[in-house]
Structure 1
Amino acid sequence: MKDNGLKQPVTDVKGIGEETAEALSDLNIRTVKDLLEYFPYRYEDYRLKDLSQVKHEEKVTVEGVVHSEPSLVYYGRKRSRLTIRLLVNQFLVQVVYFNQPYMKNKISINETLTVTGKWDAHRRTITASQTKIGEMKKNNEFEPVYHVKGSVTVKGVRRFIQLALNQYGESITETLPKEFLLNYKLLNRREAIRAIHFPLNSNDVKQARRRFVYEEFLYFQLKMQALRKFEREQSKGTIQKYDLEKLKLFLESLPFQLTNAQKRVVNEILADLKSPYRMNRLLQGDVGSGKTAVAAIALYASITAGFQGALMVPTEILAEQHAESLKSMLQPFDIECDLLTSSVKGKRRKEILEKVSNGKIHLLIGTHALIQDEVVFHKLGLVITDEQHRFGVEQRRILREKGENPDVLFMTATPIPRTLAITVFGEMDVSVIDEMPAGRKVIETYWAKHDMLDRVLGFMEKELIQGRQAYVICPLIEESDKLDVQNAIDVHASLTAYFGNRYHVGLMHGRLTSDEKDSVMKSFSSNDVQVLVSTTVVEVGVNVPNATMMVIYDAERFGLSQLHQLRGRVGRGSEQSYCILLADPKTEVGKERMKIMTETNDGFVLSEKDLELRGPGDFFGKKQSGLPEFKVADMVHDYRALETARNDAAELIRSEAFWNSPEYETLRGYLQESEVLKGEKLD
C-alpha cells in the first residue's frame, strides 16, 4: 500500500522517546500510522447549552455569574460538599463540588464561571466535574477522549497525535477512489484524520466519522466480495443434472403445500445445483418455517442426479429426529437413508461405512461423526449443515472435502439480522424463508413477575391434566454468589416436591454427558417425563409436539434471539401453546425485552431489536470469531453505509477496471496484503 511513508516507528516522531514508545506499544501503537489511526471513542462536548433544552442527568457546560457566597460542609474525614448558586441566563442553579474544599477560596461572588458537570433537572443542580474561572475561551467545542492505560494519558495521546500530524501530515495519502469521494461528498483522508482528532465543531466529527465508516466497510466488503469471487472461480463445482419429472412427483407426495417463500428458496438452491460453480449458500428460516422440507427436496434432487447427500447436525437426538422424518419422506422413492452417530458401533457401523463407500446409501445423516477419517463417500454431491454456527470452520471444511467440491448449504434457525448476515456471511449467498406454513398456531407469550409463580404452576397443571408436557428453563445450573437467579437444580427440587407423584419432573443441563442428555430427552419425547427442567442446552431443534408450555425463569437474563429460540421448542403440535416469561427486570432494556417478546413471534423482527438492544458482540456470543473489529463503524447504527459499501465493493470486484486501472491500485494492494488472498496474483 502507498502508506509506506507512515510505517516508520513512533520514535521517529520528534518528541516521542523510547520510554513513551514502549508505553504506546501497550495500546498497539507502534508506527506513525498506528498513532494517526488511533481514533477517539467519544468526545467531551463543551458547547454551551440552554438548560431548558438539557435532559435530566445529561452532561452539560454552562457559563454564569456567582450569585452567593460558597457554602462548605464537612461530613466525615476528608469528605466535604461545597455549594454555590450560579445565575445562568434566566436560571438560578445550584452548583455542587464534592471533596474539593480548596475551591472555596477560588470562587468569589459576582465572578463569571464556566462549569461542566451532570445536570439534575429535578433539583436544578449541577454536580461539577470541571470549572474554569472566567468566560469560556475554548477553540474546540469538542475534545476527543481515547482509551488509555499505564502511564499514557488522554492529554498525552492528543499531544503525540498533534506532533505526528505536524511532522507527517503531508505524507497521508488517499485510499479511496475519487469517484466515491465526490459521489458521497466525503472528506479526503488527510482532512478526515485532522477532523476526527481535532474537531472544531460537531460537523467536523460527523464528516470525519462518515468518511471512516464508509472506508472501513468498503475495505471489509472488498475482502468478502473478492473471497466470494475467488472461491467461485477456484472451486469449479459439479453440474448436477437432476431429474425434473421425479422431482415433481416427490413434491406432489409431500403431505403439505410449500409456502411461496419455500418455493422461492427451493428454486434458488436448484439453480445452484445446476450451475458449474460450487454452491455456498446460507438458508435462514425461523423455527418451524419448513427448512427440513427444503433440505429434503434439495437432497432428493442431488440424489436423482446420481450423487450422495450428507446432513450434519449438532446433537444426536436431532440427528435421530431428522433421520426419522427424512426416511419417511424419501424411502417411498427408493432412497436409502441411514444414521451415523457415535452411538452406532461395531458390526452395524462397519456395515454403514461400507454402504456409504460403495454408494448403496444415498443419504447419510449424523453428528460430527460424519467427518471421521473412516467415513468415505462414493460420490458426495451435496452437504447440508444444520445450525452451522455450532460447528467450527474446520469441521465444516473437513465435511466439504469428503467429496470433489460438493455443493454446500448451511441452515440456521437463528434469525440473523440482515446487517449481520452480510457482514459475517458476506462471502455466501443468503436465502431466507420469511413466511410460516399455513395453520400454525401462534404461541401465546405472557410476562409474569416471580410473585405470580403459584398461578403459573396452576396453569401448567391444567395443561398436564390434559396429557400435555412442559419445559421449564433456568439460566444457571447451581447456586451462584454473583447472580441471584433460579438455578436448574433448585427448581427441579421444588417442582418435584410441588407435583409429588402426580407427574415426573426431569432435569437436563450442560454438565451431563451426551448419553445422559440423550436419555433425558428420550424420556421427555416418549412422555415418560412430563415436566423437563433444563438450562439452555435444550435450545436447538428438538421436536416434542406434545409439549405445549414453556416457563422461562429469570427471562431478563437472556437475549431476545435466545428467548425466541427457546420459545420455538413449543408450538410444534396442533394444540395451542404458551410461553411464560418469569422476570423482574430492573433496567429499561430488560423491561423492553419482555414487552417485545409478548408482542411479536417474528424472529427477524426480534433479531433486529436484539441487535439494537445488545449490540453485535453479544449476538453470537463473544467467542464468535466471524465478527470483524471496526474502529469507527457500527454495524447496527451505520447499516445503510454497510449496504452501500457492500454494493460498491461487489460492483468493483466484478468490473474489469478494478483489476487493471491505476486508480484502484491502493485497493488492489490492500487485497494483496490481506490474509484472504495470500498468494493470489491480482493483475
Structure 2
Amino acid sequence: MLDLATPLHALRGLGPKRARDLEERGLRTIEDLLFHLPFRYEDRSRFFPIASLVPGLRATVRGRVVTSVLRRTRARGLTIFEALVQDDTGSIRVIFFNQPYLRTALPAGRDVILHGEATVARYGRRGLVLQGPQFEALSDEDQEAIHTGRVVPIYARLPGLSSRAIRRLIHSVLKILPPLIPDPLPPGLSEERAFPARREAIAFAHFPPQDADLSDLNAFRSPYHRRLIFEEFFFLQLGFALSRRQREVLRAEPGLRVDDAIRARLRAALPFPLTAAQRKALKEIADDLMSGRPMNRLLQGDVGCGKTVVALLAALLAVENGHQVAFMAPTEILAEQHHRSFRVMLQGTGYAVGLLTAGVTGSARRQVVLGLRSGAIPFIVGTHALLEEDVRFSSLRLAIIDEQQRFGVAQRARLRAKGARTDVLVMTATPIPRSLALTVYGDLDLSVIDEMPPGRRPARTVVRGEESRPAVYDFLRSQVKEGRQVYVVYPLVEETDRAGLKAAVEMQGMLAHKIFPDLRVGLVHGRLKTEDRDAVMGEFVSGRLPILVATTVIEVGIDVPNATVMV
C-alpha cells in the first residue's frame, strides 16, 4: 500500500533513471515529491469563446478537434502537427512543432482544452493560431482536467520532468494516497492553531479548488499553505535546537588562554584601531573560544566593515595557543587575495600562512598537505580543496568560512570534522534582519558589525531606466578619465544560465567595439579556464584594465580599491 515513505522508484511510469535523477536532487520518497510545492499558480479556469479571441490575448478555450494532420518539412526535418479546433462560436488553428505523438493524442473528434496566446499566423492560411499551447485531451471516461480549465499549479523543473509532467505525477499520487496520513506535529498543536489536516493541506496546495483566491495562492497566504509553511519552520527550528543541545552536552575542552603576551601580539598585528563594533564582535568570539564549549557563530557585516580583520585576530588567538586554523573562501580569486593580505599582516609573527586551491598542484600541493599534517603550517587559506580526503590537520581548532551562503551545511560539517574539536566561525556580507538570521541560521550564534571604519564613504545606489543608457555611458567614461575603474555585472540565475552568459559576452563586445573603442574592456565568467580568468583579474587589479564585464564570478570582497562604480 502506498504511503509517504514509499520510494519514488516504486511509482508506475517514473522509471529507474528518472528516479535516480530525482534522488540526486534530494527527492527520494512520496513525501519528498509532495513537498515539491508549486512556486506560482495560473488561472486557466475561465473559458473564452473561440470567436472572442484577439491577437495577444492569453486565454483558455474548449472545443473539439475537427481535423488534424502531421507534416514533415524537407528543409530542416521538422514535424508540424496542425489541428483545427472548433466550438459553438468558431474555430482556430493549433500548431505544434516536433511533437509527432500528438497525431494519436489529438485525433479528429477528440474534445480538448487549450491554453495559450492567440497570434496572427505568419505563414499558410491567414487568421489566428494558437502555437504550442498547453493542452488537455479529454475522454468520455475522465473529464477531469489538471493542466487547463482550472487554477493550475506551476512547478520548478526537475531532472527529466517538466512542470506538466510533475503535475501529472503528483495528481496520480494524490488519487491513491490514503485519506488519513500521519501528522508529524506534536499532539494538540494543529488543533490549537486551527490548522487543516495535513493531507487536506497538501492536496489544496497542489490542486486548489476553482473558488480559491488567486492572489492568496500566489502569496501563499491560504490556511493550507500556512500549515505547510509552519510545519517546515517547526522542524527547521527543532533541528537547530537539537544541534544546540548536542553542542551544549559535549564534554568541554580546555578553552584558549589569553594573557598579556598574546594581547600584545594581537595588537602588534593590527595596522589600525578597531571600531567599537569590531571590538564587540571580537570579544564575543574570544569568549566562545575561551569557554571550552564548541563555537558555532555567524559574523555578519557589510562589505568593508572589517569582518576579515576580526576573523584574522580570532585565528591568531588560536595559533598563539598552539593550534591550527583553516580559512575557506568560495573562489580561488578570493582565497588568493586573503592569502596575500594575511601574509602581510602576520609577517612579523613568524607564522606560516599556506594556500590550498585547485590551482595548487604537484609538489607544491604535497608540501602544503605535509605541512598541515605535521603542524608546520598553522594557518591555511583555501577553497573546497580543503575538504579533500587527504587533507588532514595536526590540531585544527578553528574553521573560518567566508561567504558562508556559498557553502552547504554538509561542507561546513566536513571541514569541522577535520579536527577533534573544531570551533566554527562563518561570515557573510548579506544583510539579514536579526530575527530572520536567528530563524534561518538558528544553529548559529550571531555577531554583527554595524559600523564602518572612520573615513569610509558609504556606497550610493541609483536606478536608471533604459532611456538613461547614454548618460550612464558618459558617466562611466568620466570616471575612467579620472583614473577610476568600472565593473559591469551580469548576475547569472544559475551556473548553467546560458542566456545570462550570452548577454555578458555580447555586452563586452558592444562596449569594447562601439561604446568605448578607445578603452580596454575585459570579460570574466565561470566558464573561463582558471589561468585565463586570473590573467584578466590580474590586469584589473593592477589597474591596466579600466572596465570589466563580469558574471557572478566577481565575488563580494574582491579588493580593487580603484574600482568605484558597479553597473
- Shorter-chain TM band: 0.5 to 0.7
1:503 match: secondary structure: coil
| SS of residue matched to 2:472 | helix
1:301-360: CA deviation from partner (whole Å, max 9, x where unpaired): 111222121211122221222122222222223333233334445555454444433333
SS at match of 1:537: coil
1:467 maps to 2:483: yes
Residue 510 (1) aligns with residue 522 (2): no
Question: Aligned equivalents of 1:37 and 1:499: distance in 2?
Answer: 49
Larger helix percent = 1
Tell me which residue corresponds to 1:108.
none
CA 1:177 to 1:276, structure 2 compared with 1: closer, same or farther past 3 Å?
farther
- CA separation in 1, counterparts of 2:453 and 2:439? 29
CA contact (8 A) 1:241 1:274 kept: yes
- Residues 314/99 of structure 1: CA separation in 2 closer, same or farther (3 Å cut): same
* Among candidates 376, 395, 410, match of residue 360 of structure 1: 376
1:449 aligns with 2:449: no
3-state secondary structure, aligned to 1:339: strand
**Partner residue, 1:219:** 235
Structure 1 residues 217 and 496: alpha-carbon distance in aligned structure 2, compared to 1, 3 A threshold? closer
Q: How far apart in 2 are the matches of 1:38 and 1:365?
A: 38
> 8 Å contact 2:195–2:224 — kept in the other structure?
no
Q: Is the 8 A contact 1:311 1:385 kept in 2?
A: yes
TM-score, scaled to structure 2: 0.62
Give the aligned residue type for 1:224.
Answer: F
Structure 1 residue 256: deviation in Å?
Answer: 3.2
Match of 2:304 in 1: 288
Q: Which residue of 2 aligns with 1:307?
A: 323
Matches within 5 A, 1:267-666: 267-345=283-361, 348-418=364-434, 421-475=437-491, 487-498=503-514, 502-551=518-567
Displacement after TM superposition at 1:434 (Å):
2.9
Shift of 1:515: 1.3
Tell me, in whole angstroms, the C-alpha distance in 2 between the residues paired with 1:22 and 1:273. 54
Measured in 2, the distance between the counterparts of 1:43 and 1:195 equals 15
Equivalent-residue separation in structure 2 for 1:485 and 1:160 (angstroms)? 44
Task: Quote the Cα distance in structure 2 between the aligned partners of 1:173 and 1:322.
Answer: 49
Whether the 8 Å contact between 1:37 and 1:193 is mirrored in structure 2 is no
Partner Cα distance (1:423, 1:369) in 2 = 30
Shift of 1:273: 0.9
Alpha-carbon spacing, 1:488–1:74, altered in 2? closer, same or farther (3 Å):
closer
TM-score, normalisation: structure 1: 0.53
Q: Secondary structure at the match of 1:309?
A: strand
1:186 has 2:193 as partner = yes
Taking only the aligned residue pairs, the percentage that are identical comes to 38
**Structure 1 runs not aligned, ≥5 long:** 1-7, 11-20, 45-56, 61-71, 82-97, 103-143, 552-683
Q: How many Å separate the matches in 1 of 2:199 and 2:168? A: 28
Question: 2:238 is aligned with what amino acid?
Answer: L
Whether contact under 8 Å (2:501, 2:551) holds in the other structure is no
Moved more, 482-491 or 422-431: 482-491
Aligned residue for 1:176? 186
C-alpha distance in 1 between matches for 2:376 and 2:13? 65
**1:278-320 CA distance string (max 9 Å, x none):** 2222222222221101111110111122212121112222122
| Aligned pairs, number | 437
Q: CA RMSD in A?
A: 5.1
Q: Deviations over 1:36-85 (max 9, x none)?
A: 999999999xxxxxxxxxxxx9x99xxxxxxxxxxx995799x9x9xxxx
Distance in 2 (CA, whole Å) between partners of 1:339 and 1:332 is 19
- Aligned residues of 1:319 and 1:367 also touching (Cα < 8 A): yes
Mapped to 2, the partners of 1:463 and 1:511 lie a distance apart of 29
Distance 1:476 1:224, change over 3 A: closer
Q: Distance in 2 between matches of 1:36 and 1:533?
A: 42
Contact 1:283/1:430, CA 8 A, preserved across alignment: yes
What is the match of residue 54 of structure 1?
A: none
Distance 1:190 1:239 in 2: 49
3-state SS of 1:331 partner: coil
